[in-house]
Amino acid sequence: MRWKKLSAMAALLLCAVTGARAQADSKLQVNLDSQDSIKRAAKVVAANLWDYYRGDEPGQTPGILPGPPPGGPYYWWQAGAMFGTLIDYWHYTGDSTYNNETIRSIVHQAGAPTNAFMHPNWTASLGNDDQGFWGMTAMLAAEANFPNPAPTDPQYLALAQAVFNTQVVRWETVDCAGGLRWQVPHTNTGYDYKNTIANVVFLNIAARLARYTSNDTYAEWAERTWDWTEGVGYITKDFNVYDGANTPKNCTNINPVQWSPNAAVLLHGAAIMYNYTTGSKQTVWKNRVAGLLNRTVEHFFPDGIMVERPCELKERVQCNVDQHSFKGYMHRALAATAIVAPFTRDSVLEVLRSSTKGAASSCLADGRCGFRWDRGEYDGDVDNGPAGQQMSALAALSTLLLDNSNGPLTNTTGGTSVGDPNAGSSAFELDPLSHITAGDRAGAAIVTVVVVGSFVGSLVWMSGGWFEMF
C-alpha cells in the first residue's frame, strides 16, 4: 500500500515537472543578452505577423492588411505602419525576407499619379494622419537606405516630400490660428477636429526632411508646428500630450486623453530637431526631448513595461484594433530617439529592455504574441487584431538591436534615395514654400487656451465609435 502511494506521488511529481517543462517550452525563448537569440525570436514573430498579410497572393491588393471594416479589421494606415515596422526589422536584424513585397507595396500604395499616398481607393476616407504614417514609412526607407524601387517608380524621399507638400497647403489659420485637421475631405466626420497625431506626424516628417536635405524651410515648419501644438494647449508645461480639440470651439475643448503615438511621434521629431540644430535652438530642443522622454516613460511604462493607459485597464482591455498596435510605435520611436539624441541612450535602453522582456513573456513559441505585456504570459487576446500585437512585439525585439544601426542617413552621409522638392504638385496648384514670419510664430502663441470640456464628457465623446485611429 505504501509502495502504491509512493508510486502515485512519483507519477504526480513527474506530471508536474513535465507540465512545467511543456509550459516553459510553449513560450518564446529569447536571451536578451544575445543578439543571435533576439534575431531568432524576432524572425519567428515576423513570420507570424506576415501570416495576416494577403497582398502577395494572386488577385489581392499589394500593401494592405485585410480590411477596411467590414471587409476586415484593419484600416489602410495600419498597413503603412506595418511596412515601417518591417523596414526597421530589416535595418536592425539584416533579414531581407520581406523586402521585395515591402518595396512593391509602398510603390503601389503611393497612388499614381500624385504619388503622395493619396491612393484613389482611400481618398474619400483619408485622414492627414493616415497619409502621414505612410509618409513616415517612406522617410524611414530613405534614411535606412532600404533597397530603392526601380528608377521608373516613385522614390522614397520624393514620396515623403509629396506627403509634406500636400499637407502644408492644408495648414490653415482661420480656425484655431493654425494646424492640420484630422480628416482631409470636408464631408468626413472629424473634419472639424484638429488632432495632435495629424500635426505631430507632419512635424516628424518635416524635421526628418530638414535633416536629410539640409533645407531649413522644412525645419521652420517643424518649429511652427511645435509652437502651434504647444500654444493651443495640446502639449502642457509638464509634457503631457493631449489628443486634440474641435474647431467650432476654437480648439479650446481639449480632449485630455493621452495616447502613446502622440507622445512617441512627437518625441522622435523633437530628437531629430535636436540633432539637426545647433546653439541655442539645440538647447531648446534638448530640453523638449528630455521633458518628453521623462514624462513618456513615467506615464506609459509603469514598472518598466509599456501599458496603453487610456484603454488597457487593470481589470479589462477596451482597446480597439488600431490601439493594439500602439506599443510598437513607442518602442520604435524610443530607439530612433536614442540614436539621434545620444544623451537619452542609457535611459532609453533601460526601459526598452524591461519592456521587451515583458513583451517576450507574452509570446508563445510559435510567435503568437499577446497584448498585455505585464502579465508574464500569453493572454489569448485575438479579438482586436492580432496583427497589431505582432507588430508591437516585433518592434520591441528589433529595437533592442539599435546599436546595429548606422543612424539615419542623409543625402550627404550615404543616403541614395532620389528626391523631388515639388513632389505631389499634381494634386493642386503648388505655390513655392514661403519662409515663416514673426507674425506666423505669434499666431501660435496667442491662441486662448480654455479647457471647457469635462473629462467624463471627453471620454464619452471619445468612445463614440467614429474614430478610425484613436
Residues 169-189 have pLDDT tens digits of 999 999 999 999 999 999 999
DSSP symbols for 387-416: HHHHHHHHHHHHHTTGGG------TTTT--
pLDDT digits (tens, 9 = 90+) for 46-101: 999 999 999 999 999 999 999 999 999 999 999 999 999 999 999 999 999 999 99
Q: Which grid coordinates are listed for 270?
A: 523633437
> Residues in the chain, how many?
470
pLDDT digits (tens, 9 = 90+) for 216-251: 999 999 999 999 999 999 999 999 999 999 999 999
CA distance 282 to 439: 23
Cell 520591441 maps to which residue?
396
Q: Pick the closest to residue 49 from 392, 401, 319 (CA basis).
A: 392
pLDDT of residue 426: 76
Q: Pick the closest to residue 227 from 270, 276, 290 (CA basis).
A: 270
Instruction: Tell me, rounded to whole angstroms, the distance of Cα 444 from its chain centroid.
Output: 26
SS3 label, residue 452: coil
Give the pLDDT mean for 145-167.
98
Give the pLDDT mean for 300-328.
97
Higher pLDDT pick, 19 / 316: 316
Binned at pLDDT 50, 70 and 90, residue 385 comes out as confident
Give the pLDDT mean for 274-280.
98
pLDDT of residue 443: 47
Could you state, in order of their start, the residue ranges of all structural domains in the chain?
A: 30-462
Binned at pLDDT 50, 70 and 90, residue 460 comes out as very low
Binned at pLDDT 50, 70 and 90, residue 464 comes out as very low
pLDDT of residue 428: 57
Q: Pick the closest to residue 181 from 116, 239, 245 (CA basis).
A: 245
pLDDT of residue 30: 98
pLDDT digits (tens, 9 = 90+) for 325-370: 999 999 999 999 999 999 999 999 999 999 999 999 999 999 999 9
What pTM was computed for the model?
0.89
Topology, domain 30-462: Glycosyltransferase (1.50.10)
Binned at pLDDT 50, 70 and 90, residue 457 comes out as very low
Q: List all residues 6 or more positions away from 97 whose beta carbon is below 8 Å from its beta carbon.
A: 43, 46
Q: Which grid coordinates are listed for 101?
A: 513585397
| pLDDT > 90: percent of the chain | 82
